[in-house]
Each structure stands twice: as structure tokens, then as C-alpha cells.
Amino acid sequence: MAGDGKKAHLIFLGPPGSGKGTQSEFVCKALGIPQISTGDMLRAAVAAGSELGQKVESIMNSGALVSDELIAEVVKDRLVQADAQEGFLLDGYPRTGPQAETLSGILEESGIELDHVVLIDVPEEELVARAVARGRDDDKEEVVRERQRVYHEKTAPLIDYYRAQGLIREIDGNRPIEDVTAALMEAIGA
């Protein structure tokens, strides 16, 4: 990836509030690739009051995941856009086994190989404290705990899925933001 002029194809995986969004922004600027955050896209749809936004608002505010079918449409539409043709960072996607399968299909069709799947690790109590401090609509403590439960049930199994492909780069996310960034850049060879 580094030095050969080829842009990176990355996934950021980790529990809700682990700092995926925070770190993605920095890494995308540094590498010149678009940040594709399904969470941000869904929140934008809710803010715009679009048909998609109306469908997902109450689901997001309950701490549940939006359906794999809806997410597949959102991601497929995004990945065909011009800025995603040479590289991208998927922030918070995939989050379930079926989403990972859909993504594999898309990548295979386009002849794209993932470079790294970054896993940002943070203990649950720290995650709850961070989210409650952030204060979004889906950051009430009981909703945050539900999002953690859903993460363990549906998303954590993807760690083994990508580990089997040799792609997991595990980062300790329980330290200052700049230290996480430095460890992460090193882990992806950037």
C-alpha cells in the first residue's frame, strides 16, 4: 500500500463509541480516501427527513441495527461514486455476517482486495462513559448498553471472519486520541 501509489481499502471495526469515527476522519485525510460511515449516512438521512431517514430513526434510537437489506442499498449506492473508485475506509460497516457476505460479493465483482481491518478495542465501562458524555439521541445509558449487547451478538463474530483472512490489526483504543492514531497509522503501514 505505502509508496506504490495504490490507495488503501480499509474497514474500521469496534464496539460503539470505540472511536471509529474519530480515528477514521484523521486517517482518511492522511491517506486521501473517502470516509464511508454508515452511521453518518443514516444520521444525515434522519436529519433530512428522507424516506430512508423516516424508516431508520426509531431503530437507531432504540440501539438496534438497521436491516441488512437497507444497509446493502446504502453502501452499494455509495461505493459506485467517483471518489470511492481508488480506495475507501468503511467506518462501522459491515456490522453483521450477512453484511460481510454482501461486501465480499461487491469487492469480488470489482476486483478489490481489502488491505486491513482495524479493530479498536475499549473496555465496556469506558465506552458507556464516553457515549453518555457525547449526548447523541442514541446515547442514553440504556440504549448504549443495548448497542453494546448487539455488538457482541452480531458484530464481534466478524473479528474471527477477518482474522481468518489475515486482515485484523488490533489497536488499544483506551488511551488519548493522538496515541490511538499513532498506533493505528503504524499498524496499517501508513
Chain residues binding ligand B4P by CB under 6 A are 14, 16-22, 38-39, 42, 59-60, 65-66, 71, 92-93, 95, 99, 130, 134, 138, 147, 173, 176-177, 180
The minimum distance between CB 86 and ligand B4P, in angstroms, equals 22
The minimum distance between CB 66 and ligand B4P, in angstroms, equals 4
Residue with the three cell numbers 470511492: 84
Residue whose CB is nearest to ligand B4P in the complex, by number: 39
Q: 152: phi > 0 → left, psi -120 to 50 → alpha, else beta; which?
A: alpha
Cα(81)–Cα(24) distance, rounded to whole angstroms?
Answer: 19
The minimum distance between CB 95 and ligand B4P, in angstroms, equals 4
For ligand B4P, the closer CB: 5 or 142: 142
Determine whether 62 is exposed, middle or buried from the number of CB atoms within 10 Å of its CB (0-12, 13-18, 19+): middle
The minimum distance between CB 53 and ligand B4P, in angstroms, equals 12
Q: Are 66 and 138 in contact (CB under 8 A)?
A: no
